């Protein structure tokens, strides 16, 4: 195993530990993992934010925002069946 493989496994292990412990929000964990991968050189620094322009990322972010808004209302069924 070379150094980059060990660093990648350590980052993934830390990420899984943070997800399982549920003490840090998932978006913060993802930002930390991306930062660590860029700082260690696993991901080239010029390509760190390259895939954020993908339309799928926009759709996933929109669904997460919409889900948070619906959760803040408290009654999902009432909002989903509202006829206008």
**Domain around 43:** 3-76
For residue 83, tell me if it sits in a domain. Answer: no
Number of domains in the chain: 1
**Mean pLDDT value of segment 7-36:** 92
pLDDT recorded at residue 74:
67
Q: Give a yes or no: residue 84 inside a domain.
A: no
43-57: b (≥16 Cβ within 10 Å) or e: beeeeeeeeeeeeee
* Residue 81 resides in a domain: no
pLDDT tens by residue, 25-70: 888 898 899 999 999 999 888 888 887 788 898 898 899 888 888 7
For residue 28, tell me if it sits in a domain. Answer: yes
Domain-located, residue 82: no
């Amino acid at each position: 195993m070379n150094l980059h493989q060990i660093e990648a496994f350590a980052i993934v292990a830390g990420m899984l530990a943070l997800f399982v412990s549920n003490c840090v929000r998932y978006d913060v964990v993802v930002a930390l993992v991306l930062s660590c991968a860029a700082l260690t050189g696993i991901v080239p620094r010029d390509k760190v934010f390259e895939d954020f322009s993908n339309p799928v990322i926009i759709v996933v972010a929109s669904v997460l925002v919409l889900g948070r808004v619906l959760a803040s209302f408290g009654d999902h069924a009432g909002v989903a069946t509202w006829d206008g």
